[in-house]
Amino acid sequence: MKSTHDEITDLLHGYLHGTLAEEKVALVEAHLAGCDECVWEFSVAATLLKIETPEPDDRYFNTLTNVVINSAKVTVPNTAKATAPNRFNLWKYLFRPIPVTAAASLCLVIYLIAVNFGGFHSGQVQYGNKTAKNIMVDVSVSDDIMNSLEEEYGDDFSVGYDGGDDVAVAL
């Protein structure tokens, strides 16, 4: 009987708010029919529930929410780190682009080496059955040079001249 009384008291709130299932309502009403103590208790509770409580406006609640969230940035350390406002970050602005810059610089150095020391301009020239390497000669073009080349290599050479100072001789 004692436990039933406690169970009924636990159902008080739901009964007064009309949120109980039908069988629970029947259980409560059956108990109330024979228990004056519970009738009084329910009566007191029902009267208390009829009193409206003054509430602040939405502005108060919105401000409250912001205050609580801002306080969390200070009082919950790890979360503060994750949600901290953007601050100046030396790593982000100075060191993070370094790999990209380094890669670009390396490419540039390789290109310059290839151009200046690797004979980037020259290529393989097929002459009959022979493959000869181009030779870049920085000379003033004159008949003397042509004659000397003919003397030295006979017919086994060709000369490419693009109008500039370079003459390409292929063997």
Partner 1 sequence: MDEDSRVEDNRLIDSFLDGGDETALEELVIKYRREVYLVAYRMAGDMEEAKDITQKALISAVAKLRDFKKKSSFKTWLYRITVNAALNHMRGNAYKTVELCETMKCEDEGVVSCLMKKEQAQSLKVLLTALPPRQRLSVILRVYEGLSLAETATVMGCSEGAVKSHYHSAIKKLKTAMAATKTGKDL
Q: Which residues bind partner 1 (CB under 8 A)?
A: 6, 9-10, 12-14, 17, 40-41, 43-45, 47-56, 60-61, 64-65, 67-69, 71-72, 75-76, 78-79, 81-83
Q: Return the structure tokens found at 145.
A: 């040079």
Angle, in degrees to the nearest 10, between helices 22-32 and 2-17: 120
Residue number, 67 or 107, with CB nearest to partner 1: 67
Could you give the 3-state DSSP secondary structure of residue 168? strand
Residue number, 78 or 124, with CB nearest to partner 1: 78
What's the closest the beta carbon of residue 80 comes to partner 1, in angstroms?
Answer: 8
What's the closest the beta carbon of residue 7 comes to partner 1, in angstroms?
Answer: 9
What's the closest the beta carbon of residue 106 comes to partner 1, in angstroms?
Answer: 38
Residue number, 64 or 109, with CB nearest to partner 1: 64
Q: Strand ranges (DSSP E) for 128-171?
A: 130-133, 135-138, 158-161, 166-170
Residue number, 76 or 139, with CB nearest to partner 1: 76
Task: Give whole-number Cα distances, 105 to 110, 119, 120, 121, in Å.
Answer: 9, 21, 19, 22
Q: Collect all residues with Cβ–Cβ distance below 8 Å to 120 and sequence separation of at least 6.
A: 114
What's the closest the beta carbon of residue 17 comes to partner 1, in angstroms?
Answer: 7
Q: Return the structure tokens found at 69.
A: 């969230």
